Amino acid sequence: MLADLKLPGALEAADQVLSEADSGSLTAGEAIHKLLGAQISLRNNRRLQAAMRSSRLPAVKTFDQFDFSFQPSIKREQIDSLAELGFLERKENVVLLGPPGVGKTHLAISLATAAAQHGRRVYYSTLADLVTSLEEAQAAGTLKRRLTVLSHPSLLVVDEIGYLPVSQSGAVLFFQLMGRRYEHASTVLTSNKGFEEWGQVLGDDVMAAALIDRVLHHCHIVNIRGNSYRMREHSDLWRTLQPDAEHRSPNPEPSEVPSS
Ligand SMILES: Nc1ncnc2c1ncn2[C@@H]1O[C@H](COP(=O)(O)OP(=O)(O)O)[C@@H](O)[C@H]1O
Ligand SMILES: [Mg+2]
């Protein structure tokens, strides 16, 4: 019957569950729970694999793999609460700010991975790639369709805002996309630049201000101040590479950020 109902996960677990039930180590209720649980976990795994293929996530990263003790400026409760994904239901955004290597991409991907595990559609892109794909669509006369496709995922990760400058026309396209997603679906943005520098990144102060206004309207800000995890074995070198090296303590307190 399990085969007929196309429940391969439960079918695979059936022998084991039945023998445990027969031997009395599982009650009838526990046996049903375990049988259906096996099917659900198979389904969730398949969903994750399918979502991973279409999401363009560069890797699977999870919160479990993140060493919070290395990054004391991160409020653990804030990340735990984001990991429950209520922000997706509420169509809120998340902005991860901080210097290179502090785990912005890791945490953004962990949120996307968790969302994919819950069957939500997710999509990952760096800002540079996102803008290129929008510009290509515009040149091909398919911008409207591309904007619609990119407004659909429940979670869009826009990584690396600030490393590469974006052309002003590219920034307009990004602004259009964020306008479509505003109050409609969540976006997770990461940047090594504070908001005051986004005007420079996007080549237009007025548009950057309007973008930030929308992004911050329903938003969680994770401001990470700390050392690069990539450079953790070279902390002396890392310190000399920091522009304001002599003023920094190894793990300074995060500066105040506006909360919304
Ligand atoms: N606190 C941490 N615990 C475990 N791994 C981390 C931590 N912070 C960063 N990493 C790892 O270090 C590398 C760089 O982190 P990443 O998220 O890419 O940094 P960022 O995006 O801020 O530049 C990644 O491989 C990431 O998985
Ligand atoms: Mg990154």
Domain check: are 118 and 73 in the same one? yes
Tell me if 134 sits within 8 A of 170, measured CB to CB. yes
Give the CATH number, domain containing residue 74.
3.40.50.300
Domain check: are 85 and 176 in the same one? yes
CA of 60 to the centre of ligand 2 (A): 14
Nearest ligand atom owner, CA of 226: 1
Instruction: Record the tokens describing residue 149, joined without a space.
Output: 């496709």
Please tell me which residue, 234 or 102, carries the higher pLDDT value: 102
Query: Residues 204-232: what's their mean pLDDT?
Result: 92
Pocket perturbation via mutation, ligand 1, pick of 106, 188, 224 by most ligand atoms within 8 A of CB: 106
**Phi, then psi, of 155 in degrees rounded to 5:** -140, 120
Domain check: are 140 and 221 in the same one? yes
Confirm whether 196 is domain-assigned: yes
**In this model, does residue 250 exceed pLDDT 50?**
no
Confirm whether 73 is domain-assigned: yes
Instruction: Record the tokens describing residue 125, joined without a space.
Output: 């892109």
CA distance 95 to 97: 6
**In this model, does residue 207 exceed pLDDT 50?**
yes
Q: For the sheet containing 93-97, what is the strand order?
A: 122-126, 155-161, 186-191, 93-97, 219-223
Helix, strand, or coil (residue 11): helix
CA distance 116 to 54: 10
Domain check: are 96 and 22 in the same one? no
Domain check: are 43 and 68 in the same one? no
CA of 227 to the centre of ligand 1 (A): 10
Helix, strand, or coil (residue 77): helix
CA distance 186 to 122: 10
Alpha helices in the chain (DSSP H): 8-22, 28-55, 76-83, 86-89, 104-117, 127-139, 143-151, 168-181, 198-202, 205-217, 235-241
Confirm whether 252 is domain-assigned: no
Instruction: Report the chain's mean pLDDT, rounded to a whole number.
Output: 90
Q: What is the pLDDT of residues 83-124, one digit of tens each?
A: 999 999 999 999 999 999 999 999 999 999 999 988 899 999
Domain check: are 13 and 121 in the same one? no
Asked whether the whole model's pTM tops 0.75, one would answer: yes
Domain check: are 130 and 182 in the same one? yes
Domain check: are 37 and 137 in the same one? no
Nearest Cα to 110, choosing from 149, 74, 153, 58? 58
Query: Residues 146-152: what's their mean pLDDT?
Result: 96
Domain check: are 45 and 75 in the same one? no
Domain check: are 116 and 40 in the same one? no
**In this model, does residue 256 exceed pLDDT 90?**
no
CA of 230 to the centre of ligand 1 (A): 7
Domain check: are 105 and 206 in the same one? yes
Query: Residues 164-170: what's their mean pLDDT?
Result: 91
pLDDT band at 259 (very low <50, low <70, confident <90, very high): very low
CA of 17 to the centre of ligand 2 (A): 44
Q: Supply the residue whose CA is at minimum distance from atom 15 of ligand 1.
A: 103
Pocket perturbation via mutation, ligand 1, pick of 65, 113, 229, 238 by most ligand atoms within 8 A of CB: 229
**Mean pLDDT lowest among 133-147, 222-236, 239-253:** 239-253
Domain count, the chain: 2
Confirm whether 146 is domain-assigned: yes
Confirm whether 253 is domain-assigned: no
Nearest Cα to 55, choosing from 116, 114, 122? 122
Instruction: Record the tokens describing residue 185, joined without a space.
Output: 């679906």
Query: Residues 175-201: what's their mean pLDDT?
Result: 95
Confirm whether 180 is domain-assigned: yes
Task: Identify the pLDDT of residue 244.
Answer: 59
Domain check: are 40 and 156 in the same one? no
The two most distant CA atoms of the chain are separated, in Å, by 71
Q: What is the pLDDT of residues 13-50, one digit of tens each?
A: 999 999 999 999 999 999 999 999 999 999 988 888 88
Query: Residues 216-225: what's their mean pLDDT?
Result: 95
- Which structural domain range is residue 121 located in? 58-247
Phi-psi region of 183 (alpha: psi -120 to 50; beta: other; left: phi over 0): left
Confirm whether 255 is domain-assigned: no
CA distance 147 to 15: 49
Q: Supply the residue whose CA is at minimum distance from atom 18 of ligand 1.
A: 105
Number of Cβ within 10 Å of residue 109's Cβ equals: 23
Confirm whether 148 is domain-assigned: yes
pLDDT band at 243 (very low <50, low <70, confident <90, very high): low
Query: Residues 119-139: what's their mean pLDDT?
Result: 96
Query: Residues 234-252: what's their mean pLDDT?
Result: 60
